[in-house]
């Protein structure tokens, strides 16, 4: 318990010490290590503080159980890397950034430690406001920051209504398992959490906020912030129990969101918007896995309970891989972006030769993890969710079978499109040809150390994933078969349905590929490089296969979905796309503006009698509620 208190206290000290931002980020780093220890301790033994009575009927407390401990460990890994990264990266920004950075981490930690809805909402709002203030760091980010805040407050309102419903049904503010919950509670809190997870169609705020925010803030928005939404969904599941209809809803939202996010990422050209849409895709996969777990668990039969546990394990693995890999991706992209002072993928080429091998390898590793490339931890998580969805035949109802099969198709397509988009990002940035622009150098030892840390974690987490499964308490999904020793084989069901062994994959590939390649490379003659054929003409710097050209065929085929439009200016033309979900909010924006105008003309017209009537009506409604 002491490490949890220490972590919260250190974050507040970091806020107070922001006048010396170097010290403030070091304090955040120390606090993050303390929260990691607290999370590991909670996975072994749950603990809780004594309740503190505020008013009659309202007692608040903090603590951690096994579930919140797991999520705190995952979040803390990102906190540690981002805090250490920000010691150097934060020098590029104002001192206020250090304060808001610590404030955001304090809010997220409080969310996971909250034992009651009051503490939970305090942490939720502190987290949102801290991130809002970080987005405002850029001079041209005013509109995007307030759009983020609008969605954040919509999420908070849904949660407040849901927790109020929980209080009416149970008579307590506690959010521990065993509390009586109603379907209305489940609907409202789910809405609040999926807004935070960037689930379609509540994702439109990401395009501006991610691109305008500093890269360490963008990493917080994409990884730990959305993880809070995942944690909230899991916590709601522990309160309300398994529910078939709820699982169906989560799976439908998740599968559509995963496909939509991957499809938008495949056509994106911006350096930070592409990873932003990747977040929509990854969180859709996580939501699908949780929905499948709820559907399978609601049946109560032994085979379905096995499927439910495996689907939940898949959700945990994808959440872990997304948090680590997306933190790394934004860190590496931010490193390159600030070095080259460019925004588009086309202009940030040659990172390996120009900026450095470490940020380039960070983009490569995280991109391969999102592409489900073995043996990364992303491969293990996405293999798990596909294996779980392929077991749709176990459901008794045809409707459940069809939904699960359809979700499996969308998730498989999403993974393919995600690989397409990540190959584009990796090929043009990390491994692309040097465009000759000189990189701006700034102190980056801690930035590179953080990138190395997460790169190693993504690779080692995948290779030794069977041991992670054992630590999490899912040893029944481990075994051995033929030449694979126990427990290095991951089983997707019991009896066996599908198997994989990332550990043995590395051993076999190392023996069959790496060693022969090294022997060949040692004895091979030097390769002779020639210029690409260009009709007999010299290939100039401005003649290369651009990012828009890479995905244009896909954009043209799906032009009705992408809303592909060609804009001509003189002798040049540009192809642009638009997310269809944005039209929904444009219509809503016009409606609200029109309604506000009519209400303003009717009520706020200078008549004191109407003002008094308005105040009385609002007072009476507030009193009754």
DSSP 76-119: HHHHHHHHHHHHHHGGGS-HHHHHHHHHHHHHHHHHHHBSBHHH
Q: Given this model, what pLDDT does residue 525 score?
A: 60
- How many C-beta neighbours within 10 Å does residue 438 have? 8
Q: Given this model, what pLDDT does residue 307 score?
A: 92
Look up tokens 């509540």; give the residue.
202
* C-alpha distance from residue 264 to each of 222, 284, 309, 563 (Å): 16, 13, 31, 11
Closest CA to 395 of 198, 244, 504: 244
Range of weakest confidence among 26-30, 39-43, 144-148: 144-148
Closest CA to 361 of 430, 423, 416: 430
Max mean pLDDT range (3-17, 173-187, 472-486):
3-17
b/e burial code for range 444-476 (CB count within 10 A of at least 16 → b):
bebbbebbebbbebbbebbbbbbebbeebebee
In the predicted structure, residue 78 carries a pLDDT above the cut 90 = yes
| % of the chain surpassing 90 pLDDT | 47
Tell me whether strands 499-500 and 484-491 are parallel, antiparallel or unpaired.
antiparallel
Q: Given this model, what pLDDT does residue 254 score?
A: 94
Range of weakest confidence among 14-18, 59-63, 284-288: 59-63
More confident residue, 480 or 611: 480
Q: Given this model, what pLDDT does residue 530 score?
A: 66
Tell me whether strands 565-569 and 47-48 are parallel, antiparallel or unpaired.
unpaired
- Average pLDDT over the chain reads 87
pLDDT, tens only, 505-557: 888 887 777 777 777 776 656 656 666 666 666 666 666 677 777 888 888 88
**Whole-angstrom Cα distance, residue 293 to residue 386?**
13
For the chain, give the longest Cα–Cα distance. 94
pLDDT, tens only, 154-169: 999 999 999 999 888 8
130, 107 contact by CB (below 8 A): yes
Tokens of 607: 């008549």
Give φ, ψ of 339 to 5 degrees: -70, -40
How many residues belong to the chain? 625
State whether residue 202 is helix, strand or coil: coil
Q: How confident is the model at residue 143 (pLDDT cuts 50, 70, 90)?
A: confident
Max mean pLDDT range (176-185, 384-393, 537-546):
384-393
Contact residues for 601 (Cβ-Cβ < 8 A; gap 6+): none
Q: How confident is the model at residue 56 (pLDDT cuts 50, 70, 90)?
A: low
107, 119 contact by CB (below 8 A): no
């Amino acid at each position: 318990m002491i490490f949890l208190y220490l972590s919260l206290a250190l974050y507040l000290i970091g806020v107070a010490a922001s006048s010396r931002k170097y010290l403030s980020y070091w304090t955040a780093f120390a606090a993050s290590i303390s929260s990691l220890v607290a999370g590991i301790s909670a996975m072994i033994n749950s603990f809780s503080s004594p309740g503190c009575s505020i008013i009659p009927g309202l007692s608040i407390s903090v603590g951690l159980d096994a579930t919140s401990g797991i999520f705190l460990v995952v979040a803390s890994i990102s906190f540690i890397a981002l805090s250490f990264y920000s010691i150097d990266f934060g020098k590029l920004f104002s001192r206020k950034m250090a304060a808001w950075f610590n404030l955001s981490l304090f809010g997220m930690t409080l969310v996971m430690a909250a034992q009651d809805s009051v503490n939970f909402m305090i942490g939720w709002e502190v987290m949102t406001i801290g991130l809002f203030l970080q987005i405002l760091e850029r001079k041209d980010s005013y509109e995007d920051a307030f759009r983020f805040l609008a969605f954040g407050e919509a999420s908070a309102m849904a949660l407040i209504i849901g927790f109020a419903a929980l209080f009416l049904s149970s008579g307590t503010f506690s959010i521990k398992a065993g509390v009586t919950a109603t379907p209305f509670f489940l609907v409202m809190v789910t809405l609040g959490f999926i807004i935070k997870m960037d689930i379609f169609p509540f994702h439109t705020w990401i395009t501006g906020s991610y691109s305008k925010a500093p890269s360490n803030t963008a990493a917080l928005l994409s990884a730990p912030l959305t993880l809070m939404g995942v944690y909230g969904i899991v916590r709601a599941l522990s309160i309300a129990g398994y529910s078939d209809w709820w699982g169906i809803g989560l799976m439908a939202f998740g599968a559509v969101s995963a496909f939509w996010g991957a499809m938008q990422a495949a056509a994106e050209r911006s350096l930070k918007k592409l990873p932003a849409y990747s977040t929509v895709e990854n969180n859709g996969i996580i939501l699908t896995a949780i929905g499948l777990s709820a559907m399978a668990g609601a049946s109560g039969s032994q085979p379905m309970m096995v499927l439910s546990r495996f689907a939940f394990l898949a959700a945990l693995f994808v959440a872990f891989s997304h948090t680590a890999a997306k933190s790394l991706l934004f860190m590496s992209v931010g490193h390159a972006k600030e070095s080259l002072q460019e925004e588009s993928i086309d202009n940030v080429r040659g990172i390996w030769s120009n900026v450095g091998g470490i940020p380039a390898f960070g983009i490569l590793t995280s991109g391969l993890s999102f592409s489900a490339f073995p043996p990364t931890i992303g491969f293990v998580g996405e293999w798990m969710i596909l294996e779980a969805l392929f077991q749709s035949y176990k459901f008794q109802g045809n409707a459940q079978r069809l939904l699960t099969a359809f979700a499996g198709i969308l998730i498989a397509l999403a993974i393919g499109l995600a690989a397409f988009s990540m190959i584009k990002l990796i090929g043009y940035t990390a491994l692309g040809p040097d465009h000759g622009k000189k990189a701006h150098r700034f102190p980056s030892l801690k930035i590179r150390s953080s990138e190395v840390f997460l790169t190693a974690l993504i690779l080692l987490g995948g290779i030794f994933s069977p041991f992670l499964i054992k630590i999490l308490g899912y040893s029944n999904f481990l075994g051995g078969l033929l030449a694979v020793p126990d427990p290095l084989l991951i089983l997707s069901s019991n009896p066996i349905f599908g198997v994989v062994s990332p550990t043995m994959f590395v051993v076999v590939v190392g023996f069959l590929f790496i060693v022969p390649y090294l022997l060949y490379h040692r004895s091979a003659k030097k390769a002779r490089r020639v210029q690409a054929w260009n009709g007999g003409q010299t290939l100039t710097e401005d003649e290369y296969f651009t990012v828009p050209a890479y995905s244009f065929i896909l954009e043209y085929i799906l032009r009705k979905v992408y809303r592909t439009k060609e804009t001509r200016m003189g002798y040049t033309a540009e192809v642009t796309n638009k997310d269809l979900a944005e039209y929904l909010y444009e219509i809503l924006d016009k409606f609200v503006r029109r309604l506000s105008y009519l209400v303003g003309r009717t009520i706020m017209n200078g008549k004191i009698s109407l003002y008094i009537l308005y105040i009385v009506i609002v007072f009476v409604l507030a009193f009754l509620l």
